[in-house]
Amino acid sequence: MLFQLDMLWGGLLLMVATMSVAQQTRQEADGDRETLVVQHGHCRYTFLLPKSEPCPPGPEPSGDFSSFQRDPLATPLHPGKLPTQRVKRLEQALQNNTQWLEKLERTIKMHLRLELVEAQQQMVHNQTAPLLKLDISFLNQTTAQTRKLTDMEAQFLSQASRMDTQMLKTLLSTDKLEKQLLLQRQKLQQLQGQNSTLEARLRALEMKQQEELASLLSKKEQLLNALSRQSAALTNIELGLQGLRHNSSLLQEQQHQLRQQLVVWRNRMQERAKALAPAFIMTGEQVFQDCAEIQRSGANASDVYTIQVSNAAKPRKVFCDLQSSGGRWTIIQRRENGTVNFQRNWKDYKQGFGDPAGEHWLGNEVVYQLTSRAPYSLRVELQDWEGHKTYAQYEHFQLGSEGQLYRLSLGGYHGSAGRRSSMVLQNTSFSTFDSDNDNCLCKCAQVMSGGWWFDACGLSNLNGIYYRAPNNKHKMDGIRWHYFKGPSYSLRASRLMIRPSGI
Q: Note the residues at the interface with Ca ion (CB under 5 A).
A: 436, 438, 440
- In the complex with Ca ion, which residue's Cβ is closer, 276 or 447? 447
- In the complex with Ca ion, which residue's Cβ is closer, 91 or 436? 436
- In the complex with Ca ion, which residue's Cβ is closer, 234 or 442? 442
- In the complex with Ca ion, which residue's Cβ is closer, 436 or 477? 436
Give the count of beta carbons closer than 10 Å to the beta carbon of residue 244. Answer: 11
Give the count of beta carbons closer than 10 Å to the beta carbon of residue 202. Answer: 11
- We find the least distance from the C-beta atom of residue 310 to Ca ion, in angstroms, to be 34
CB 299 within 8 A of CB 322: yes
Residue length, the chain?
503
- We find the least distance from the C-beta atom of residue 443 to Ca ion, in angstroms, to be 5
CB 273 within 8 A of CB 300: yes
- DSSP state letter for 326: G
- In the complex with Ca ion, which residue's Cβ is closer, 306 or 446? 446
- We find the least distance from the C-beta atom of residue 442 to Ca ion, in angstroms, to be 6
- DSSP state letter for 343: -
- We find the least distance from the C-beta atom of residue 431 to Ca ion, in angstroms, to be 7
Q: Amino acid identity of 447? A: V
- We find the least distance from the C-beta atom of residue 328 to Ca ion, in angstroms, to be 37
| 3 state DSSP class of 405 | coil
Contacts of residue 330, defined as CB under 8 A and 6 or more positions apart, other chains included, come to 290, 291, 292, 307, 318, 319, 320, 362, 370, 497, 498, 499
- We find the least distance from the C-beta atom of residue 430 to Ca ion, in angstroms, to be 12
- In the complex with Ca ion, which residue's Cβ is closer, 239 or 441? 441
- In the complex with Ca ion, which residue's Cβ is closer, 43 or 440? 440
**Pairwise CA distance, residues 445 & 7, whole Å:** 164
Query: DSSP secondary structure string, 395-426?
Result: EEEEE--TTTTT-EEEEEEEESS-SS-SS--E
* Preceding peptide of 440 cis, ω within 30°: no
- We find the least distance from the C-beta atom of residue 476 to Ca ion, in angstroms, to be 16
